[in-house]
Amino acid sequence: MTPIVWTYIVYIALSIPLTIWVAHTLYKNGRVFLIDSFRGNERLADSVNHLLVVGFYLINIGYVALALKERIAPTDVREVLETVSRKVGVVMLVLGAMHFTFYSTLTANFVCAVAIG
């Protein structure tokens, strides 16, 4: 196999499980926050939580797929590792940015709802 094929395999093998782990963590730990945000309505909170996870998967796995192509093919193991590191690093930044954007927006909405009464 060529170095670019190894790059693709390692990139996908790291990025997809990372996305699944983050989604699972957000789903599990975000449930309590959503129940509180929806004033104890567990059914609504679970439904919204599920929809958020589906959207999270679509956006992140879609990004992983779009970012797969590499313009300059690595020629040795060092370049494979550098390319995979850069690509997985960007995926981690995207995951982190989505997490903080979502929860800061949700927190701001929750604070406004509590303030209004």
pLDDT at residue number 110: 65
pLDDT at residue number 80: 92
Per-residue pLDDT reduced to its tens digit, 7-32: 999 999 999 999 999 899 989 988 88
**Burial (CB count <10 Å: 0-12, 13-18, 19+), residue 106:** middle
Return the DSSP state at 38: T
Judged against a pLDDT cut of 90, whether residue 46 lies above it is answered with yes
Judged against a pLDDT cut of 60, whether residue 116 lies above it is answered with yes
pTM: 0.76
pLDDT at residue number 36: 85
**CA 80-66-98 angle, 5° bins:** 100
Mean pLDDT of 86-107: 84
Percent of the chain with pLDDT over 70: 92
Residue ranges per domain, the chain?
A: 3-116
Q: How far apart are CA 106 and CA 38, in angstroms?
A: 11
pLDDT at residue number 29: 87
